[in-house]
Structure 1
Amino acid sequence: MVRIESAHGLPATCILKLDDSYGADGIVSSKDITEVAGLRSQSIAVEKGSPSHFFLLSMLKEENLTAKDVQMLFMPTAGDAAAVFTAGRAKAAVTWEPYLSSSTKQSPNAHVLVTTREKPGLLLDLLLANSDYAKANPDAVNGVIKAWFDAVKFWKTNPAQANSTIAKGLGVSDQELSEMLKGCKYADYPENATYFGLQGNSSAPFFEGFAQAQKVWLEAGLMTKTVNADSVIDVSFLKGITV
């Protein structure tokens, strides 16, 4: 999403990778659709401009299909997309957990067509900061980043206690949270160092993913101009962190 925000003139700077989706996002469809190519001409509920939208466009692209080859039903949220599907008003929906699993439980004729587990690295969460704020308040930004790494470390060493705390905050049971987290991989400092190429590697995953996403959004018409990847990333905060 940093591509869209920057292309629309919003002063967003990427400062941290939070997690990778590893099965938490995907496409649910009726069972008669057995492959992504089978989505051709079908109605698909999806939140416009969202990670779900990007996932759908990327999956279609792999099958040499475009948005024009399907009937997209744009919904306000991924939850609404799932609801439209379970109500029988769409042949497929792009959503995330817990809606991905609940959709198949509510609809006997539904199944999960594809998820990010089969496409690792395609969807992830990044933390953005207002560029002006970050420059004026480096200590605050460093504090947020340090707190994230401390939280990830605590979660890895005390999973039961951490999950219970997270579940309480989200208003779900410990078991429900455990199922949700199976599709998510939190990013610690080493993962961030690799992802952003802190040693100056221009082929770091961030730049590759940025280029891929930018191409998808441009083709979809949600971006009208290209954005230089270097202009929306600031690794100085990560480099200054001691973990």
Structure 2
Amino acid sequence: MKKAPIIAAALAALLAGSAAHAADTKVSIGISGWTGFAPLTLAKEAGIFKKHGLDVNIVKVPQASRHLALASGDIQCAATTVETWIVWNAAGVATKQIFQLDVSHGADGIAAKPGIEKVSDLKGKSVAASAPGTSPYFLLAFILAKNGLSMKDVTIVNMEPGPAAQALLAGQNDAAVTYEPYLSSVRAAPDKGKIIATTVEYPAVMDTFGCATAFLKDNPEAAKALAASYYDALEMIKTDKEKSYEIMGKDVKQSGKAFGESAAYLEWQDKAAAQKFFETTFKSFNEEAADLLLSAGVIKVKPDLSTLADPSFIK
């Protein structure tokens, strides 16, 4: 007779465990193979998201169509550059940034074939860059503008960052806008290409993590958990760099050593840095970026820039 209470207790424990598992919030996140996003992959592969009660699916979606995946509900959150959120909101895809991911310090740039020495030499040349509304396209417009040129002064060849770098090394196109880990393939082949401008001289690439506003409204605790997971991943990188680099490198077909070399050109941002960013640089950069996007014809109208972020989830 004593077995019944024991069995009942065991069954209750099993059901409680199943309920807790079922309660994990499902989140699909759209990213690319960009080195700066890799801590999100680490959080997935190392079980950090799971620890925070999240059932995360990470999906590789080209930046040019990531907002379409958000609009359709295929993904609920995404990682991308600050100015891209302006484009997405201007296109009617309601999203908010909730924490900063990274800052590029040379991890994005323009590489050119031998003989092209500086940005002004690009006038009249063919430049491989991904579509309008993407970070490489914006970075090209930004760098050209700083050198007295515009997108009308070059011929754009629409290519994603990886293929753009590969094409340049194969002798195709005059230049390419790309980022790590692909930019390092150019660094390794100086006889085939030369990096003529990076985000060291032109600090225009800052990445943030954001979600559909409807998702944030319905899942505020999940939003906080996503941020907490990211910061735990950064802590893991600090305490076990070798293992972390191996995990993150594997996702983009790099060795841990090669991944570390790519990561040296950017800086992941912790909570304190992100909080400061949203109060300072974020606001001034948005204004400059929105004006450039308008002049380049990427957007037709400037969205309300004051509504594009909600850093309350990291306070």
Asked if 1:108 corresponds to 2:184, the answer is: no
> In structure 1, what is the Cα distance between the partners aligned to 2:188 and 2:232?
36
Q: Deviations over 1:14-34 (max 9, x none)?
A: 111000111111111123211
Q: Report if the CA contact (8 A) 1:12-1:130 is conserved.
A: yes
Match of 2:227 in 1: 145
> In structure 1, what is the Cα distance between the partners aligned to 2:238 and 2:200?
21
* Matched residue SS, 1:13: strand
Asked if 1:57 corresponds to 2:141, the answer is: yes
> In structure 1, what is the Cα distance between the partners aligned to 2:125 and 2:223?
45
> In structure 2, what is the Cα distance between the partners aligned to 1:114 and 1:238?
34
> In structure 1, what is the Cα distance between the partners aligned to 2:96 and 2:138?
20
* Matched residue SS, 1:54: helix
Q: Report if the CA contact (8 A) 1:82-1:93 is conserved.
A: yes
1:21 to 100, 104, 120: 104
Q: Which has the higher contact order (CA 8 A, sep 6+)?
A: 1
Amino acid at match of 1:128: G
Q: Deviations over 1:144-163 (max 9, x none)?
A: 01111111122123322321
How many residues matched? 231
Q: How does 1:1-243 map to 2 (within 5 A)?
A: 1-48=84-131, 49-75=133-159, 77-106=160-189, 108-120=191-203, 122-197=204-279, 204-239=280-315
Q: Report if the CA contact (8 A) 2:99-2:208 is conserved.
A: yes
Q: Report if the CA contact (8 A) 2:245-2:259 is conserved.
A: yes
> In structure 1, what is the Cα distance between the partners aligned to 2:197 and 2:277?
24
Q: Deviations over 1:158-203 (max 9, x none)?
A: 3223212222343321111111101120000111111011xxxxxx
Structure 2: 5+ residue stretches without partners: 1-83
> In structure 1, what is the Cα distance between the partners aligned to 2:200 and 2:191?
23
> In structure 2, what is the Cα distance between the partners aligned to 1:107 and 1:63?
24
Q: Higher mean Cα deviation, 39-48 or 80-89?
A: 80-89
> In structure 1, what is the Cα distance between the partners aligned to 2:234 and 2:192?
38
Amino acid at match of 1:228: D
Amino acid at match of 2:285: G
> In structure 2, what is the Cα distance between the partners aligned to 1:99 and 1:165?
18
Q: Report if the CA contact (8 A) 1:79-1:99 is conserved.
A: yes
Q: 1:167 to 1:98 in 2, by over 3 A?
A: closer
> In structure 2, what is the Cα distance between the partners aligned to 1:153 and 1:52?
29
Amino acid at match of 1:9: G
Identity across matched positions, percent: 29
> In structure 2, what is the Cα distance between the partners aligned to 1:225 and 1:208?
18
Q: CA deviation at 1:56?
A: 0.8
> In structure 1, what is the Cα distance between the partners aligned to 2:252 and 2:120?
36
- Structure with higher Rg: it is 2
Structure 1: 5+ residue stretches without partners: 198-203
Q: Report if the CA contact (8 A) 1:45-1:73 is conserved.
A: yes
TM-score (structure 2 length as normaliser): 0.70
Q: Report if the CA contact (8 A) 2:286-2:305 is conserved.
A: yes
Q: Report if the CA contact (8 A) 1:30-1:111 is conserved.
A: yes
Q: Report if the CA contact (8 A) 2:245-2:257 is conserved.
A: no
TM-score (structure 1 length as normaliser): 0.90
Amino acid at match of 1:188: D
